[in-house]
């Protein structure tokens, strides 16, 4: 019978193998950051650290962006958990946490357990702030989306399909998802961490628009000051 430490180490190796060449921002290091955030939150919120850690390590393997379909992804996760010899209760708890992580354009299921709340919060914290900005541009480049298109409207209400495949840009994604995440977090600890990260995104957008809209009349004083 494997102990929990062995299960974690084997899961790390498995996830690294699957995601080592990912270029969409859902790579091994994303899993590692969500794992660290999740364990930190779990200890402060009284959640089961083992369940959170396993779910955080595996969560994107069930995502259709990685697996092709949710069904195929979840099947692989279940097979891996069976390989690890988790108890049925532990397996169901990990699956429950993974099944509600994804945002899906605001159409995702609400988490029903504390562990699921913690994993979702950890994943969403990694989607905002400086790293969130970097991952957003990385994913857009992977998908071939434009950096910004002022002619496109911001979509406030979307189906899952529209969110995944409808016309958008990297900057639009801030309004369609990232800036909404702070108010959608569940745990007190995550909400505190989110404050600075959210503010950093707002500051980034202000600077982005200043540079995007730069013209000689409006920018001449600043340009002259750096000559």
pLDDT score for 167: 83
Residue 81 included in any domain: yes
pLDDT score for 68: 64
Q: What is the pLDDT of residues 28-78, one digit of tens each?
A: 999 999 999 999 999 999 999 999 999 999 998 887 676 567 788 889 999
Q: Domain span at residue 194?
A: 4-212
Residue 158 included in any domain: yes
Q: 144: phi > 0 → left, psi -120 to 50 → alpha, else beta; which?
A: left
Residue 37 included in any domain: yes
Residue 77 included in any domain: yes
The two tokens of residue 195 are 């404050």
pLDDT score for 72: 85
Specify the CATH number for the domain of residue 114. 1.10.3210.50
Q: Which of 191, 14, 205, 3 is nearest to 86 (CA)?
A: 3
Domain count, the chain: 1
pLDDT score for 165: 76
Task: For 78, list phi and psi in degrees, rounded to 5.
Answer: -60, -40
pLDDT score for 226: 43
pLDDT score for 221: 46
Q: What residues of the chain score a pLDDT lower than 50?
A: 220-227
Residue 76 included in any domain: yes
pLDDT score for 227: 44
State the pTM of this model.
0.90
Cα separation values, 21 from 1, 26, 57, 98, Å? 32, 10, 16, 22
**Nearest-angstrom CA–CA distance, 120 and 19:** 20
Radius of gyration, CA atoms only, the chain: 19
Q: Which of 59, 50, 46, 68 is nearest to 8 (CA)?
A: 50
Residue 31 included in any domain: yes
């Amino acid at each position: 019978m494997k102990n929990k430490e062995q299960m974690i180490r084997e899961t790390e190796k498995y996830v690294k193998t699957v995601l080592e060449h990912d270029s969409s921002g859902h790579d091994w290091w994303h899993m590692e950051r969500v794992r660290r955030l999740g364990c930190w939150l779990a200890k402060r919120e009284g959640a089961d650290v083992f369940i959170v850690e396993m779910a955080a390590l595996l969560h994107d393997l069930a995502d259709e962006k990685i697996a092709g379909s949710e069904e195929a992804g979840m099947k692989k996760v279940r097979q891996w958990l069976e390989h690890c010899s988790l108890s049925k209760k532990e397996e169901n708890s990990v699956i429950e946490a993974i099944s509600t992580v994804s945002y899906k354009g605001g159409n995702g299921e609400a988490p029903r357990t504390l562990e699921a709340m913690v994993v979702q919060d950890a994943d969403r914290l990694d989607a905002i702030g400086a790293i969130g900005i970097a991952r957003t541009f990385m994913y857009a480049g992977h998908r071939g989306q434009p950096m910004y298109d002022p002619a496109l409207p911001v979509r406030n209400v979307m189906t899952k399909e529209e969110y995944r495949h409808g016309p958008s840009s990297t900057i639009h994604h801030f309004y369609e998802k990232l800036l909404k995440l702070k108010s959608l977090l569940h745990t007190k600890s995550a909400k505190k961490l989110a404050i600075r990260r959210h503010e950093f995104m707002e500051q980034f957008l202000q600077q982005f628009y200043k540079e995007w809209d730069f013209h000689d009349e409006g920018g001449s004083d600043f340009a002259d000051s750096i000559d």
